[in-house]
Amino acid sequence: MKTYQILLFLFLTASAFPQNLNLHSLENKKKFADHLFCEKDYLRSILEYESILQSIQNDTIKFKIGLAYQRLDEYEKSINIFNSILPNAESEFYHSLFLMNDFNLFRIKVNNNKTDANPAVQKLYLFSYFFTDDALPDWQKFSETFSEERAVESFYEKKINPGYKSEITAAILSAIIPGAGKIYTEQYGDGITAFIATGLLAYLSYSNFNHDHDFRGWLFGGAAAIFYAGNIYGSAASAKIFNAGIKMNFENELRLFLNQNNYFMPEYNFCK
Amino acid sequence: MKKLLIIIFIAALASACKSQDELQSQYNLAQELFKKREYFDAVTELKRLNFFDSTNQFSFQSCLLMGKAHKAGAMLNDAVHNFTMAGIFSRTDEEFYEAEIELIRVNILRRTSSQAHKIIDRLLLDERFISKKDELNYWKGWAYIFEDDWVNAADLFSKVSENHELTNFCDSINDQLYSATLAKLLSVFIPGAGQIYTGNYLNGIFSLGWNVFAGWLSINSFAEERIFDGLVAANFLWLRFYIGGINNAQKFAEEKNLAITNNALDYLQHKYGGLKP
């Protein structure tokens, strides 16, 4: 009995060595490609998956290649691959299309292909309106589609009332009181500086003319005029920058939300 | 029953031996690719080897070679990771030392020389590597070269051996370098002198002439009680150019030093025959 136990132990020890000896067999290539993918070495994983496809045709492998290209931001390639395995890869096909940031094209494709049944695509479809200046669909549609995502309501409100500043108002305010346009666009330091600088230069010009120093009067007067005109233009530009900042922050919030929700895509478990 | 178990055991043992052969041939394949400078493919095959080498028999060699392949492909961060892993998987002091030296060299190359210094200092204190002191000082010297500290570099190479080729080289580079502080100070006391010190003679003479002219214009205005004119001339014609001249002197010195050190590194890369990072 003892001999059997020893032999069994030795057998189990020997069995600890890798059983499938061919490192380049299809099965091992697949395991290795998955490992590379999960290590985020997407380029190598693509090459490995592609070498498998030379031997067998497999939609799952193609799907993984598409995903790897998507992770590498090679959206056109991923779209082509997902397109070849539709309708199985429908969600990821539209996901890649969405990531290309051509939201009009994205919506045209969704409308043409009638993907009403796919909730992830529907969510992306409605979400795309937050990134464009097109009229938003009714809130009713959003509330039905995003019943579980409360943050969407605040995005919807922000899109309707973004809190932009008017460039014309900023320019007019600075024309009436130098620096007021800057203060309107929340550039308080710039506004006060512009007010003091323009006022001081105008006073120096007035004072010099009063004392018959005409050259200096014109010099300071010219400088005051340049500051005044520059401030009007600067206020309009400041409103534009302010609006761009609001838009950028809003889009960052949207991207963060999408990333946190994995663009509404399902989780794939081959990396677990 | 006993015979059957023996047969199974022999079969399993044969399988294990074949596995090892397979891993060895995989390592050989990676080495071949590395020798042919096909670094991307070499890394792929080494990653494959690591993935299937469940008992870590080849982990040290494969991590070390992967680090070298990444280093050759200028992927220095990946190389640092691989050499660190090679150190972890080392089985002997010699293997550990080899991995650490590679780590030092790649840290010098990617200009994280503080990290290189840390590793060298740690090894210098390690009794196992007491005989490697000269080699460690040699790499410390290289770390100083990449920090532009030619004085300390020369000092360390002189510790490696008397009249070491790199000692004289570092000393000569140090002699050629300009002092940016001296250039600035010269221009503070005599406008244009800093530029002349760095070899920009025309710029220096022009700077001196302009400062004399603008200075005279300002002082003359004040002397004739034309205060406003004096302020304008002093501010826009004199002080601006005076301060600009000081900054120029510093910039010229730094540019010259950069050219000197670049030439030095170029020489070391292409003409120096000894070991390089």
Reported as a single tens digit per residue, the pLDDT across B52-93 is 999 999 999 999 999 999 999 999 999 999 999 999 999 999
Rounded distance between C-alpha atoms, residue B132 and residue B122, angstroms: 12
- Give domain status of residue B34, yes or no: yes
The amino acid at A243: N
- Give domain status of residue B51, yes or no: yes
Which pLDDT band, with edges at 50, 70 and 90, does A14 fall under? very low
Examine the pLDDT at A18 and tell me if it is beyond 50.
Answer: no
| Domain C-terminal end among B110, B135, B164 | B110
Number of other CB atoms surrounding residue B94 within 10 Å? 11
Examine the pLDDT at A16 and tell me if it is beyond 50.
Answer: no
Q: What are the pLDDT digits (tens) for B7-19?
A: 555 555 555 555 6
The reported pLDDT for the residue numbered A15 is 47
Which pLDDT band, with edges at 50, 70 and 90, does A249 fall under? very high
Closest Cα of chain A to B226: distance in Å? 13
Residue ranges in chain B modelled with pLDDT below 50: none
- Give domain status of residue B263, yes or no: yes
A74 sits in the region (left: phi over 0; alpha: psi -120 to 50; else beta) called: beta
Rounded distance between C-alpha atoms, residue A84 and residue B271, angstroms: 55
- Give domain status of residue B162, yes or no: no
Does B74 reach chain A within 8 Å, measured CB to CB?
A: no
The amino acid at B252: F
Looking at the 3D structure of chain B, how many domains does it have? 2
pTM, to two decimals = 0.77
| Domain C-terminal end among B76, B110, B144 | B110
Does B22 reach chain A within 8 Å, measured CB to CB?
A: yes
- Give domain status of residue B175, yes or no: no
Does A34 reach chain B within 8 Å, measured CB to CB?
A: no
**A17 and B19 Cβ atoms separated by less than 8 Å:** yes
The reported pLDDT for the residue numbered B21 is 87
- Give domain status of residue B161, yes or no: no
Q: Where residue B96 sits, what CATH number does that domain have?
A: 1.25.40.10
Q: How large is the average pLDDT for residues A102-116?
A: 86
Does B4 reach chain A within 8 Å, measured CB to CB?
A: no
- Give domain status of residue B115, yes or no: no
Cβ-nearest to B9 among A14, A22, A41: A14
The reported pLDDT for the residue numbered A22 is 87
Q: What are the pLDDT digits (tens) for A153-198?
A: 999 999 999 999 999 999 999 999 999 999 999 999 999 999 999 9
B81-87 LR contacts (CB < 8 Å, sep 24+): B85/B59, B86/B59, B86/B60
Closest Cα in chain A to B12 = A14
The reported pLDDT for the residue numbered A149 is 79
The reported pLDDT for the residue numbered A4 is 56
First vs last C-alpha separation in chain A: 42
Examine the pLDDT at A118 and tell me if it is beyond 90.
Answer: no
Give SS3 for A235.
helix
| Domain C-terminal end among B81, B110, B139 | B110
- Nearby residues of A66 by Cβ (< 8 Å), 6 or more positions away: A77, A78, A81, A82, A85, A89, A92, A96
What secondary structure does DSSP assign to A111-172, as a single string? HHHT-TT-HHHHHHHHHGGGGSSSPPPPHHHHHHHTSS-THHHHHHHHHH---PPPHHHHHH
Rounded distance between C-alpha atoms, residue A214 and residue A120, angstroms: 73
* Burial class, B248, CB count within 10 angstroms (exposed 0-12 / middle 13-18 / buried 19+): buried
- Kindly list the residues from chain A whose CB atom is less than 8 angstroms away from the CB atom of residue B12: 11, 14-15, 17
Q: Which residue has the higher pLDDT, A219 or B47?
A: B47
What secondary structure does DSSP assign to B206-245, as a single string? HHHHHHHHHHHHHHHHHHTT-HHHHHHIIIIIIIHHHHHH
The reported pLDDT for the residue numbered B61 is 96
Rounded distance between C-alpha atoms, residue A91 and residue B96, angstroms: 49
The reported pLDDT for the residue numbered A17 is 46
Which of B128, B50, B132 lies closest to B89, judged by CA?
A: B50
The reported pLDDT for the residue numbered A38 is 94
Closest Cα in chain A to B27 = A23
3-state helix/strand/coil string of B236-265? HHHHHHHHHHHHHHHHHHHHHHHHHHHHHH
- Give domain status of residue B142, yes or no: no
- Kindly list the residues from chain A whose CB atom is less than 8 angstroms away from the CB atom of residue B43: 44
Please compute Rg for chain A using Cα positions.
32
Does A7 reach chain B within 8 Å, measured CB to CB?
A: yes
**A71 and A43 Cβ atoms separated by less than 8 Å:** no
* Residues 48-77, chain A, touching B (beta carbon < 8 A): 48
Rounded distance between C-alpha atoms, residue B240 and residue B234, angstroms: 8
Rounded distance between C-alpha atoms, residue B214 and residue B218, angstroms: 6
Residues of chain A above pLDDT 90, percent: 74
List the domain range (segments joined by +) for residue B80.
Answer: 21-110
The amino acid at A36: L
State the residue for tokens 């392949």: B69
Does A6 reach chain B within 8 Å, measured CB to CB?
A: no
